[in-house]
Structure 1
Amino acid sequence: RIPALLYIPSAATFLAFAEKRSSARDEDAKYLVLRRGQRHGPSVQVKPTWALTLPGRRTMNPCPLYDSTTGTIFLFCICVEQGRSERCQLWSGCSAARLCFATSTDGGRGWTPLRDVTDEAIGADLSRWATFAVGPGHGIQLDSGRLVVPAYTYYIHRRLCGVLPLPCSTRQHSLVFYSDDNGRRWHKGALVGGQRTGECQVAEINGNDPDVPMLYCSARAPRGCRAVALSTDLGLRFQPPARCRVLGEPPRGCQGSVVSFPAPRGSGTAPTWLLYSHPIDRHRVNPANIGKILRGMVWDGLKHHHLLLHPTAAVWAHSTGDMEGTHVKAGKEWEGDQGKFWGLGALASWDGEGGFGGRVMEG
Structure 2
Amino acid sequence: MANNRCQFEPKMPKKTLCRGVVYRIPALIYIGDQKILAFAEKRTTSDDTSTVALEMKTGEVNKNESTHEVTIEWSDLKPVKEAHLDGYRPMNPCPVYEKTSKTLFLFFICVEGKVQEYWQISNGHNKARLCYIKSNDVGQNWSEVTDLTDKLDEIEQWATFAVGPGHGLQMESGRLIVPLYAYYVSDKSPYALCLYSDDQGNRWTLGNKLEKQSCECEMAEVFDDTGNSVIYCNARSPEGQRVEAVSENEGDGFMTLRSTKKLVETGGGCHGSVVSFPAQSEGAHAVHNKWLLFIHPTNRHKRVNLGVYLNKSPRNPKAWSKPWIINHGPSGYSDLAYIDDGWFVCLMECGEKSEIEQIAFEVFSYSDLKHCTDA
- Name the TM-score, length of structure 2 as normaliser: 0.84
Matched, 1:356 2:370: yes
Matched, 1:61 2:83: no
> 2:262·2:317 contact (CA, 8 Å) conserved in 1?
no
Pick aligned residue for 1:51 from 66, 79, 84: 79
Pick aligned residue for 1:35 from 57, 70, 76: 57
**Cα shift readout 1:254-293 (whole Å, capped 9, x = no counterpart):** 1100000121123254722001111110242112111212
Pick aligned residue for 1:155 from 167, 172, 184: 184
Cα shift at 1:50: 2.3
Cα shift at 1:17: 0.6
Number of equivalenced pairs: 332
Give the corresponding residue for 1:298.
317
Q: Please tell me the residue identity of whatever aligns with 1:247.
A: L
> 2:245·2:257 contact (CA, 8 Å) conserved in 1?
yes
Give the corresponding residue for 1:249.
265
Q: Which has the higher contact order (CA 8 A, sep 6+)?
A: 2
Give the corresponding residue for 2:197.
179
Give the corresponding residue for 1:166.
none
> 2:305·2:326 contact (CA, 8 Å) conserved in 1?
no
**CA 1:93–1:72: 2 relative to 1, 3 Å:** same
Distance 1:177 1:144 in 2: 16
Q: Please tell me the residue identity of whatever aligns with 2:44.
A: S
**CA 1:30–1:92: 2 relative to 1, 3 Å:** same
Gapped regions of structure 2 (runs ≥ 5): 1-23, 64-69
> 2:339·2:345 contact (CA, 8 Å) conserved in 1?
no
Pick aligned residue for 2:233 from 207, 213, 217: 217
Cα shift at 1:357: 3.2
Q: Please tell me the residue identity of whatever aligns with 2:215.
A: G
Cα shift at 1:332: 0.8
Give the corresponding residue for 1:140.
169
**CA 1:323–1:246: 2 relative to 1, 3 Å:** farther
The SS at the match of 1:357 is: helix
Q: How does 1:260-275 map to 2 (within 5 A)?
A: 260-269=276-285, 271-275=289-293
Distance 2:317 2:340 in 1: 21
Matched, 1:99 2:130: yes
**Cα shift readout 1:195-254 (whole Å, capped 9, x = no counterpart):** 3100000011113332x1111110111122111111110111111453341111212111
Give the corresponding residue for 2:35.
13
Q: Identity percentage over the alignment?
A: 34
The SS at the match of 2:313 is: strand
Q: Please tell me the residue identity of whatever aligns with 1:51.
A: P
Distance 2:366 2:327 in 1: 14
> 1:3·1:17 contact (CA, 8 Å) conserved in 2?
yes
Cα shift at 1:75: 0.5
Q: Please tell me the residue identity of whatever aligns with 2:330.
A: A
The SS at the match of 1:349 is: helix
The SS at the match of 1:331 is: strand
Pick aligned residue for 1:276 from 283, 294, 302: 294
Distance 2:260 2:237 in 1: 10
Cα shift at 1:349: 1.7
> 1:229·1:297 contact (CA, 8 Å) conserved in 2?
no
Matched, 1:320 2:348: no
CA RMSD of aligned residues (A): 1.8
Cα shift at 1:298: 2.8
Distance 2:28 2:330 in 1: 19
Distance 1:37 1:312 in 2: 27
**Cα shift readout 1:48-89 (whole Å, capped 9, x = no counterpart):** 222134231110000001111111111000011012111111
Q: Please tell me the residue identity of whatever aligns with 1:319.
A: L
**CA 1:284–1:21: 2 relative to 1, 3 Å:** same
Structure number having the greater strand percentage = 1
**CA 1:268–1:15: 2 relative to 1, 3 Å:** closer
Gapped regions of structure 1 (runs ≥ 5): 158-168, 359-363
Cα shift at 1:144: 0.5
**Following superposition, which runs of at least 4 residues in structure 1 exceed 3 angstroms of deviation?**
none
Give the corresponding residue for 1:234.
250
Cα shift at 1:145: 0.2
Q: Please tell me the residue identity of whatever aligns with 2:275.
A: V
Distance 1:243 1:63 in 2: 27
> 2:270·2:303 contact (CA, 8 Å) conserved in 1?
no
Distance 1:136 1:181 in 2: 23
> 1:305·1:356 contact (CA, 8 Å) conserved in 2?
no
